[in-house]
Each structure stands twice: as C-alpha cells, then as structure tokens.
Chain A
C-alpha cells in the first residue's frame, strides 16, 4: 500500500457515483440519528468526560486490570489465551478448531436434506469441512482470520448481514459498524441473484429474509461460533457483546464451542462502568438507546450438579475460549498515541468525517478507516499506513463526535510529526510523513524566510510584484491544477503593500463610549422534566421500537396469554419453566432440539420467557440463562413473548446491571425491541436472525407491592 495508490483510490472513490450516493445517505442519517439519540441523554457531557476518565485509568493501569479480568474469566470457566501478535492469534484459533470433532447433527442433516432445493449454496461444498459461524469482529479482520481459516480448510461464514454481503462479494468491510455502507440495494439484489440463486429483487425485506434462511442453517450446524467482544468487565469477567440482528447471540449460544476474540484494551473496571459505556456506544454507533441484543457472557454451559443449581443449563456452548490480542497495543500504549486505545469502536468519527464521506472505507486500504483508523492503522496493521494521517483537514468533527472524547486531530498531528509508535523492525517515521518532498521543501524554505522578518517583508513585496506580472488584470490568479490549489480555486494576488507596510499610516482614534448598551436576554432554557411513570416510559420506549406491551391483571394472564398465542396460529411453543404454567391448551416444550429449527417450516413459532427485570429508559428486558430458562426461546422463534411484573421495571441500565442475577448467570442478554438491521442502504428492516415480533405481557402488581 503506497501513497500513490492511495491517491489513485481517492480519485476513483470520488468518481464513483454509486458510492457517493451511498455515502451521502449514510452520513446524513447517521449524523441525525446520533444527535437525536443524544437528545435523550441530558448529562451527555458529564458521561463523556467520565467515560474518558475510565478509559484513561484502564489504559494507564492495563496490566492490573488485565490480571484481574483474566483471573475472573478463568474462574468462570472460560479458557483464556493470550496472543502477542496476529500470527499467534490465528494459530490459537486453528488449534482450537482442529481439536474438535465435527458436529454430528450437520452430517445427519446433509445426508437427509443435502439434495433438496432448500439447501443453500454456501454449504453445498462443505464436504467434511468444519464450519465456523462468525459474528462481526474487527479484531478478526485485523488479524485476517477468515483467510487463514479458509486456507486451513475450514469454512467460515460471516453472519452479520452486512458482513455476509461483503464476504459473498469477496470484499472486506468498508465501515467498522456498517460493513456494506458502500453498496446500494441493487448491488445486493444482483449479488443474491448470482450467489444464492434467488430472482433479482431490490426489495430489502426479501433480501434480508433470504439471508435469514441461509444463515439460520449456519448457526444451527456450525461447529464453532466466533465473535468479538465489545467490552470486558474486570470485576466480574463479563464478556459484553452488542448486536442488532441477533447473529451475535446465535454464534455465542448455539454452536458447541464459542471463541471470543478481544483486543486487550477493551476493558472496563465494573458493571457500573459498563452501563455508562453502553449508554454511549449504541447512541454513537447507530443512534439507538440500546442495541437490540446486549449479551452478557460469563461461562460455558455448566455441567450437571454444580453447586449452583439442580441441573444443567438448557442451552449455551459446552466450551468457551477467550483470545486476548496485543498485536501492537502495548507499544501503542507506551507511545504518545496511547489515547487512541480509549476507542470503543462506535464508528461515530467515521460518520462525522468529511474525508470518509468522500471515500468510504476501502480507499484507506486499512481495515480501520476514518480518523481513528488513520491514527491506529500504522501501529496495529502496517507501519506504512502512517501516510493516512495527512488525509485530514483537521476539522475536528471526529473529536466532537467521539463519545469518549479522544483528541483525534491532536493524535493525527502526532502521527504526522513522526511521534507515533516506534518499532524495532521499522525505521522511525520521519516528521511530515506522507508529504511529497516538494511540499516539505516549500515549508522548510518558508520557515527560513518567516524566521527573518526583513527577508519576509522583501519577499512579500516581490511576491506582490510578480503576482501582478502573472495576472495583470484579475485580482484572483488562475493557477494550474498541478499546484494543488489551482485544481479547484483561484488564489488572490499578494497585496502590493502588505499590512506591515501600511501600519505606519494607520491612524488610531479611540472612541470613548458612554451610551447605554442594550442587554440581550439570557435564555436560561428552563426545562421542566415531566415525571413519567416507569410503566408508561417502558411501554412508550418499547412501542417506539416496534414491540408490543399487553398490560394484564395477574389473574387473567393465563387466559390472555393463551388466547394471544392461539390468535397467532401458534400450536407449539418453547417455554421457560417459570412461565409454562400460564399456557393452557398449547403444547409447551422446554428444549427443542436443533432439528426442530432446521426444518424449512419450523412448527414452533413462539417462545415464551420470563425476565429478570425491565428497563424503563430504553424499553428493554433482561433475560438470563439458567435452570429452566433458555436463551434460545427468546432467539429462535419468530415471536418472542416475555412475561414481566410491573414492579420489576427499573429506571435504567445501571440499575439492571446491579441485579445479583446478572453476575450469577452463565449468560444473559438485554433485549431491546425485535431483531433488526439497517445494513442495506441504512433501511431499517425488522426480524433478521432473531424474532421479528416482541410482546411483553406486563402483570400489573402495583396494588400488591
């Protein structure tokens, strides 16, 4: 990757009309979405400052936090591996994969259904290969994991809709949050027509549903689920993973083995800190108060008869691995660019950046594009990427958008100044890296002149003269395009007499003022916050996301719930133990096996669960796995019904994360609305991998509490 090829890609991106339309669309919607989401957070500035301070503390004391985190994760039963660089991380993954037996279900399935029309293209050539279902992970992109797995004869399928599209095209993501941001619906229609054999369509719900069908089979038959980690919590060993479509939940719940990849910097000290970060990440990334699914993972499925419960958890992988990747992060941490490690990978700086808006992600060449990418790519991906830092007007829109207040323009300036990471294998970057020699020479000459005021004045006068010779009539000179400036604008002639020469003739008369000045009214903008009841707030938030709330007296729950299920045409349900008693007249199953979900028309259309609590500020539900409670009931069926008491609705996320059940559970998830995606043209589509319908039966127990 060279500077010259970067410049070529810049020209290509600007000339690509399709790309420009897609990027314009993205920039506007993302910006509006982010601003709207933050309007609901009146103490945003304080939160941002606190988040900055928390990350600063974590990075300054990273060794201690890592030690604590690893001890806790290990205690929870997850196998921890540390990788110093990309090659080591890849090797660890390969070893884990190679040691596994293949899943018998898939073999049985491919024998039974291998030749039917419903079997889809990606698995047709599987023949004995192991299958990895992969959820979005920037760390995996950083270490180029897919390539290494495929080379080792392992089939990897990306399951985030955007990533899946990009993978089918043989590309890499062009944005860290919306990987297919460079494409329009017609591109996806053509792709699915060619690769999946469906008739060409631009109908986004049809395209999404096609991907759902294909990927459902991948989730259920994969040998391994691979995911990234958004946050690791040092005090509890929690792995927090945020997705909207539900693919992250699938990959971390269904396959027998889960591998999580995580950069060592992605830690927060406590669950309270996690709540703070979660109030910032989805708002900054997608303009949501919370993403649809916030997974909280602690342990693999526990063996029967542990001290905690009477039996095994009904679902979850038998084995979980965590790979902690350094790959240049320690070097970054000890450099003047350490602040870049505060990044929570929300992508807000990309969406705010006017350069990204023109280029999209691919032109950068690095898997980390945009302002943050221009700072970290040289340290984490390839030292040659230092030249990316020059592609910025230093407008500061990135810093303003950053939810953890990273001084991105300041860091870009440090990279330009050659103050980035020093590496043994690479010569220290020279100052002014990425600048052509001519520009450097010009600036150095200018400095020599400007440090000598008399010479400066002489050259100003000479310049004034020459510019009049060059352009005798026009006050604005037309310079040729090769000068850079002349590419799109004219340059004024230098003044015949500069200010310093005119200063002698400037006469000053100081005005003595005595008149009364009008005072502008200071608008204090008093806001009276309406006290909204928690139940109302919960209902309003969930309804806004497309969920439905049914408020029922306790005595009528059973009748209403059963009637509701029948009205939906449900004749079998998957139900948690705690709520199965409310369902009458419909067979309830606790743990359907995988084949139930693999049939082309699953007979179980609804899953009924309890919930630990509700969260009023975002209309969310907290669910956990455990004895008698599955995470699949809220994930695999088309309709998810949750039963919750009004007294269990808590004001905010931090309150929910303080519930003791969170720490004790093997895994939990915060569900905020039905499954959704906006990966194709930023168009919201409901029901990707998870349920398309979410109903909460709220038992009114306000009288009894």
Chain B
C-alpha cells in the first residue's frame, strides 16, 4: 500500500497555474506517493494575515484546518502528510496559524497538529521520501526497494531563486537545490544575490508598487547576469511576480516551478 499525502494546492496554482498542480501529482506518484485532493480547500488565509486582517485570516485558517482534518477516503486516519507547493503557504500553515490561535487553546492544538504534518513540496521529497539520499528520508521506500528516484531530465541551464518564506521562514534551501542536482542534462548555475526578495510580498506588491518594482528590477537584472534561460522557484507568488515582470519587459526568459522541472522527462 503506497503512502498517501493530502495536497494543498494553493489558490494561486488552482486558479492561475493548474498545470503545476498536475506536474506535482506526477512527481509525487513517481516518488511512490498517492495524492489526495480535499476538494473543499480554497486559500490558507495568508493574504489577510499578512495585511493584518487577523479576524479574516482566522476564518480561512479554520476553514483550511477543518478541510485538512477530514481523512482521505483511502485512509482511516487523517494523520497523513500535507504537501504544499509553496514556501509561503507552507510557512503560513506551520507558523502563521500558531500565531493566529495563540490565545485560543482548542484551535491552537488543532493548528499544532496540522503544522506537524505539513511539508513544503521539495522538503517532503527530500526529507520524508529520501529522494536524494535514502538514508536521510523519514519514511523508508516500499519493502524490497532500496530507494526512489525521479529520473527527471532537462536540457540546458537552470538557475534557482530561493523564495524568502521558504529560505528564511522554513529554513528550506538544501532540499530544492539537491533535487535540481539530480536532474539529468541540466546545468544549474548560481543566481547572483539570489537570496534577495523579488518584491512580491503578497499585498505589498499592490500596496507599495514602486518599492516592489525596484526589487523586481534588481531580481530580473541578476537573472539576466547568470545567462540561464530558465529560473526555477518553489513558490508560485514569486513565479507570478517575476514572470509578470519579464512579460511586461518583453523578455523571453521563463520562470518555472520546481515541480515542472522534476516532472519533465527525456
């Protein structure tokens, strides 16, 4: 019986980039994992939380907790991992919810229990599945097998932008880089000042457009410096922001989600 995860696909992928969701399911399947999609999910509440509208954020957090507490059909228990293809949404569930319910013991307990089983996509593949090093995976592969691999293939130069909430919020950096290192045919080059914010920041990108535009200008300039045609991210907010800037400037480079790279085969 393969293990099952709950996919929290995020409202951005659901609404704007459904193909990334599909790529993610493909990659998880190849890692030996079955995916369940709780259909009542919408948004984790991060936009409202970041804006300071905590009552509104709490309403969406409660909704999300309730939805993810329902066990998948194939499982008796709801204690399966939740996988989220976005550093900031995963950080919201892992840290933001604890802050939102810090004065509400009942909901805090529920939030803590969800936080414990929530992983960002690349983190799950590396730390739980042991894709890049089986000895570091929490879960052993199927009996009789000695490991799992994705056999991803990508021709050409890639560079990686570590998203703020993934890198500094969750401390996840080694994992996406290790996954990219397994991609055959790909030449991963360094993004200068990669750890700088791209200027998305949710409501910030709309509320302070001038500041956001300056961050974006620097990010695109650094991307061009490394001469890779493709920038890989693990957060759809950054993807939409940087690709939106490239489109506006009429540039041909692309920004792809790491799931799209890992789903790609020769």
Residues on A lying within 8 angstroms of B by beta carbon are 10-11, 14, 354-355, 358-359, 389-397, 399-400, 410, 413, 415-419, 431-436, 439-440, 443-444, 446-447, 449-451, 453, 456, 460, 463, 476, 478, 481, 483-485, 487-495, 497-503, 506, 508-517, 519-520, 522
- Output the nearest chain B residue to A493 by Cβ-Cβ distance: B16
With A481-B209, A499-B14 already in contact, the answer to whether A416 and B51 are too (CB < 8 A) is yes
**B182-215 with Cβ < 8 A to chain A:** 195-197, 199-215
Write out the residue numbers on chain B whose beta carbons fall within 8 Å of the beta carbon of A440. 51, 53
Tell me the complex Cα distance, A483–B168, Å.
29
- Output the nearest chain A residue to B241 by Cβ-Cβ distance: A489
Contact (Cβ within 8 A) B205 A497: no
Least CB distance from B133 to A in Å reads 6
Cβ proximity bits B11-39 to A, threshold 8 Å, 1 near / 0 not: 10111111001100100011111110101
Please choose the segment from B56-64, B104-112, B153-161 that sits at the chain A interface, where 4 or more of its residues have CB less than 8 A away. Answer: B56-64
Partner pick for A506 among B25, B47, B142, CB 8 A cutoff:
B25
Least CB distance from B188 to A in Å reads 14
Tell me the complex Cα distance, A603–B57, Å.
72
Write out the residue numbers on chain B whose beta carbons fall within 8 Å of the beta carbon of A431. 52-55
Partner pick for A450 among B42, B200, B240, B241, CB 8 A cutoff:
B42
- Output the nearest chain A residue to B10 by Cβ-Cβ distance: A499
Contact (Cβ within 8 A) A393 B197: yes
Partner pick for A512 among B45, B130, B142, B201, CB 8 A cutoff:
B142
Interface flag for B117 (CB, 8 Å):
no
Contact (Cβ within 8 A) B54 A394: no
Contact (Cβ within 8 A) A393 B164: yes
- Output the nearest chain B residue to A11 by Cβ-Cβ distance: B210
Subset of 26 A-B contacts with CB under 8 Å? A14-B211, A390-B204, A396-B165, A413-B49, A417-B52, A431-B52, A443-B47, A444-B56, A446-B43, A446-B47, A446-B48, A447-B48, A447-B57, A450-B11, A450-B63, A451-B63, A453-B40, A463-B15, A485-B206, A489-B244, A495-B18, A499-B18, A509-B29, A513-B32, A513-B149, A514-B146
Write out the residue numbers on chain B whose beta carbons fall within 8 Å of the beta carbon of A495. 15-18
Interface flag for B115 (CB, 8 Å):
no
Tell me the complex Cα distance, A527–B132, Å.
26
A355, A418, A484, A513: residue with the most chain B Cβ atoms closer than 10 Å = A513
Least CB distance from A63 to B in Å reads 25
Tell me the complex Cα distance, A443–B203, Å.
9
New A-B pairs, 13, CB < 8 Å, besides A483-B206, A487-B212: A390-B204, A397-B196, A399-B168, A433-B52, A435-B207, A489-B244, A489-B247, A494-B15, A495-B18, A499-B22, A511-B31, A513-B142, A517-B130
Tell me the complex Cα distance, A447–B187, Å.
42
- Output the nearest chain B residue to A31 by Cβ-Cβ distance: B193
Tell me the complex Cα distance, A432–B50, Å.
9
Interface flag for B72 (CB, 8 Å):
no
Counting from the closest, the 4 A-B pairs by CB-CB distance are: A393-B201, A416-B52, A517-B147, A489-B244
With A514-B146, A520-B132 already in contact, the answer to whether A355 and B42 are too (CB < 8 A) is no
Contact (Cβ within 8 A) B208 A391: yes
Cβ proximity bits B60-80 to A, threshold 8 Å, 1 near / 0 not: 100100000000000000000
Write out the residue numbers on chain A whose beta carbons fall within 8 Å of the beta carbon of B63. 450-451
Partner pick for B29 among A397, A493, A508, CB 8 A cutoff:
A508
With A354-B196, A393-B201, A488-B248 already in contact, the answer to whether A513 and B145 are too (CB < 8 A) is yes
Contact (Cβ within 8 A) A503 B37: yes
- Output the nearest chain B residue to A497 by Cβ-Cβ distance: B18
Contact (Cβ within 8 A) B201 A515: no
Write out the residue numbers on chain B whose beta carbons fall within 8 Å of the beta carbon of A463. 15
Write out the residue numbers on chain B whose beta carbons fall within 8 Å of the beta carbon of A516. 146-147
With A413-B49, A431-B55 already in contact, the answer to whether A500 and B39 are too (CB < 8 A) is yes
Contact (Cβ within 8 A) A436 B207: yes
Tell me the complex Cα distance, A520–B52, Å.
44
The number of residues on chain B lying at the interface, defined by a beta carbon within 8 Å of a beta carbon of chain A, is 90
With A395-B168, A432-B51, A488-B213 already in contact, the answer to whether A514 and B196 are too (CB < 8 A) is no
Contact (Cβ within 8 A) B29 A435: no
Write out the residue numbers on chain A whose beta carbons fall within 8 Å of the beta carbon of B125. none
Least CB distance from B163 to A in Å reads 9
Write out the residue numbers on chain B whose beta carbons fall within 8 Å of the beta carbon of A447. 45, 48, 53, 56-57, 59-60
Contact (Cβ within 8 A) A416 B50: yes
Tell me the complex Cα distance, A451–B205, Å.
24
Write out the residue numbers on chain B whose beta carbons fall within 8 Å of the beta carbon of A434. 52
With A476-B244, A485-B206, A519-B135 already in contact, the answer to whether A492 and B51 are too (CB < 8 A) is no
Tell me the complex Cα distance, A460–B15, Å.
6
Contact (Cβ within 8 A) A515 B147: yes
Tell me the complex Cα distance, A450–B197, Å.
27
- Output the nearest chain B residue to A446 by Cβ-Cβ distance: B47
Contact (Cβ within 8 A) B199 A393: yes
Write out the residue numbers on chain A whose beta carbons fall within 8 Å of the beta carbon of B14. 460, 498-500
Contact (Cβ within 8 A) A510 B164: no
Contact (Cβ within 8 A) A488 B51: no
Least CB distance from A14 to B in Å reads 6
Least CB distance from B167 to A in Å reads 8
With A443-B48, A495-B17, A497-B18 already in contact, the answer to whether A510 and B33 are too (CB < 8 A) is yes
Write out the residue numbers on chain B whose beta carbons fall within 8 Å of the beta carbon of A453. 39-42
Contact (Cβ within 8 A) A393 B204: yes
With A444-B53, A488-B245 already in contact, the answer to whether A354 and B209 are too (CB < 8 A) is no
Write out the residue numbers on chain A whose beta carbons fall within 8 Å of the beta carbon of B47. 443, 446
Write out the residue numbers on chain B whose beta carbons fall within 8 Å of the beta carbon of A396. 164-165, 167-169
Contact (Cβ within 8 A) B206 A439: yes
Contact (Cβ within 8 A) B133 A520: yes
Contact (Cβ within 8 A) B247 A476: yes
- Output the nearest chain A residue to B35 by Cβ-Cβ distance: A508
Tell me the complex Cα distance, A520–B16, Å.
36
Contact (Cβ within 8 A) B51 A439: yes
Least CB distance from B75 to A in Å reads 15
Contact (Cβ within 8 A) A492 B48: no
With A436-B207, A443-B56 already in contact, the answer to whether A513 and B141 are too (CB < 8 A) is yes
Contact (Cβ within 8 A) B206 A432: no
Least CB distance from B216 to A in Å reads 6
With A393-B197, A463-B15, A513-B142 already in contact, the answer to whether A435 and B41 are too (CB < 8 A) is no
Contact (Cβ within 8 A) B146 A10: no
Tell me the complex Cα distance, A390–B17, Å.
28
Tell me the complex Cα distance, A152–B216, Å.
49
Tell me the complex Cα distance, A512–B145, Å.
8
Interface flag for B138 (CB, 8 Å):
no
Contact (Cβ within 8 A) B210 A510: no
- Output the nearest chain A residue to B24 by Cβ-Cβ distance: A499
With A10-B208, A481-B209 already in contact, the answer to whether A394 and B17 are too (CB < 8 A) is no
Tell me the complex Cα distance, A520–B167, Å.
22
Contact (Cβ within 8 A) B60 A450: yes
Write out the residue numbers on chain A whose beta carbons fall within 8 Å of the beta carbon of B49. 413
Contact (Cβ within 8 A) A432 B148: no
Contact (Cβ within 8 A) A511 B30: yes
Partner pick for A393 among B32, B212, B244, B248, CB 8 A cutoff:
B212
Write out the residue numbers on chain A whose beta carbons fall within 8 Å of the beta carbon of B11. 450
Tell me the complex Cα distance, A494–B63, Å.
23
Partner pick for A392 among B29, B132, B204, CB 8 A cutoff:
B204
